[in-house]
Amino acid sequence: MRQRGFTIVELLIVIVVIGILAAITIVVYNGIQKRGNDAAVQADLNSFGKIMEIQKADLGTYPTTFASSMGLKFSKDAYGEDSQGRNVRYCYDSSNDRYVLVVNSKSGNFFKLINGVVSSTPNTSWGFAACALIGLSSTNPIRNGYDRDLVPQWAAWTN
């Protein structure tokens, strides 16, 4: 009488196939998650730009200070940190009435908003380099939305 069952080779093949499928699923999931974080950050930038245009219409210039009443909302879980422990930096050049907001997505990608126009930017656009995007040299951002060294880490104006 012959016994029925799987051989060790058959079992190993099934385990390897399941492992390959799991690895593919993880890679695809991570890619989707990164794209989702980037999309959330870009949506935040578009919203920020619209609020800034409203502020300019009301005040005649872009603001240098922010308040939670402005409604500046950020999808906080979608942001990562740059090498200085920050992820939302704002610079304003009053002489040219230009602003830039540089942000870091959790995916590792950096994005900038310059006077309402969103685009990607190299990951070297932090600190002085953020303000240099609008022509300010040797100038640090005047507002940081997040700072890992502060408690609470997110600024009060970031709803």
pTM above 0.85, yes or no: no
Query: What amino acid is encoded at 98 in this protein?
Result: R
Contact 45, 118 (CB under 8 A): yes
The tally of domains found in the chain comes to 1
Strands laid side by side in the 88-93 sheet: 117-121, 110-114, 98-104, 88-93, 143-144
Per-residue pLDDT of the chain (159 residues; tens, 9 = 90+): 677 888 899 899 999 999 999 999 888 888 899 999 999 999 999 999 999 999 999 999 999 889 999 999 999 999 998 888 999 999 999 999 999 999 999 999 999 999 999 999 888 878 889 999 999 988 889 999 999 999 899 999 998
Q: How far apart are CA 73 and CA 123, in angstroms?
A: 23
Rounded-to-10 torsion of CA 14, 17, 18, 21: -160
CA distances from 58 to 49, 88, 156 (A): 14, 24, 22
Q: Helix, strand or coil for residue 41?
A: helix
Domain housing 139: 1-159
Query: What amino acid is encoded at 74 in this protein?
Result: F
